[in-house]
Structure 1
């Protein structure tokens, strides 16, 4: 009998109350259990935190890890960022020989692969912050006032554009080779989803989003 302890996380109380994000995590966990788990399986426990992925204060995750170790179960999460957004924290868990970790959206990924994904995601978040600040600094140098409703809108639009361009550049190493190999937009979207690569909003890729990304890379 294969044992699992499932863990879910949402960032706000509103998401926790509405179920926003939880349904998607349940879906991915369910798909993994039905399609990739050794049969039969049993859920030893399920835990949910309402907290930021950068927060160290997540009591339900602590309980989930303890139970997984106690019963010899795999800790199963829908996506790697549900576990944590800190690569240092994820690395600590991976170094724990008493804990087995599984990510539903990357069913074939081993610990080494998960470590790489975590490191790339952290670098991306840091670079987004740096690039956004640089874009705002440049706008200010050009005389753009950042106060007031109109200026706040301009500030937000510039940040969105900068982030969109950055996101396109980050996934170019995956998208461009597939496109050169003759893959359709839908095929590329499927490959990105299989690899566990999320869109800017943390969702699944569609052909239209791949098209927009290619257009940004070409601009």
Structure 2
């Protein structure tokens, strides 16, 4: 019986972390301590915010490799994977439970849900404490912040409305598909091959049908034009 395969995913969330390497080195130390004797077949590193997994091509590539090789995805800390409970559980289901984190021993669906819920709660408490501190500061010194010119003239509201409309038009499924297309394209795959890969993974085009080669090419061109 062949040894279990592992794929490691590292993420640093800020430009400073990415340049200094401190966040990355700390994660590597965790993984090397717990997985030095494991069959690690690939490592992926990303310098991006953890807010949205659909905008992380390295994570999507890691997930794709795990599914193809029946490998286990490893992260040093679970918040390097995601800070959102639903996103973390979605990845857990996508990998049929083949997910491990150095800071959560014996990770399963229950412990993952519990750990993420505690993290969510802590973020809420931090937000409450921050808002409370701002209220107290206003009581002591009054309102110290000044409204911007854009806010006073009303242009900020118009710009905000446009931004919300643009966001509403953005299809989350297409963003994730576009990231996968970029990964496959970098491997030299043709449009039809990529379309087949997306359809096999359960992706659907904007109107709900299967991806065709022309749709894949169009989505790729739009995504790379924005880069």
Give the TM-score normalised by structure 2.
0.58
**2:27 aligned to 25, 28, 31, which one?**
25
**2:44 aligned to 42, 47, 63, which one?**
47
Task: Verify: 1:12 aligned to 2:14, yes or no.
Answer: yes
1:167-205: CA deviations, max 9, x gaps? xxxxxxxxxxxxxxxxxxxxxxxxxxxxxxxxxxxxxxx
What are the ranges of 5 or more consecutive residues in structure 2 without an aligned counterpart? 147-227
* Alpha-carbon separation, structure 1, partners of 2:62 and 2:94: 14
* Alpha-carbon separation, structure 1, partners of 2:48 and 2:113: 22
* Alpha-carbon separation, structure 1, partners of 2:93 and 2:68: 17
Hey, which bits of structure 1, 4+ residues long, moved more than 6 A?
none
CA contact (8 A) 2:10 2:24 kept: yes
What are the ranges of 5 or more consecutive residues in structure 1 without an aligned counterpart? 35-39, 149-219
Q: How does 1:1-219 map to 2 (within 5 A)?
A: 1-34=3-36, 41-56=38-53, 57-96=55-94, 98-144=96-142, 146=144
Q: Which secondary structure does the structure 2 equivalent of 1:142 belong to? A: helix
- If you compute each CA radius of gyration, which structure gives the higher value, 1 or 2? 2
Distance 1:78 1:141, change over 3 A: same
CA contact (8 A) 1:65 1:99 kept: no
Quote the offset at 1:144 in angstroms. Answer: 4.4
Aligned-residue CA RMSD in angstroms?
Answer: 2.0
Give the TM-score normalised by structure 1.
0.60
CA contact (8 A) 2:13 2:50 kept: yes
Aligned residues: 143
* Alpha-carbon separation, structure 1, partners of 2:127 and 2:87: 21
* Alpha-carbon separation, structure 2, partners of 1:46 and 1:98: 20
Quote the offset at 1:145 in angstroms. Answer: 5.1
1:16-65: CA deviations, max 9, x gaps? 2321211110010111114xxxxx63212110111111133111000001
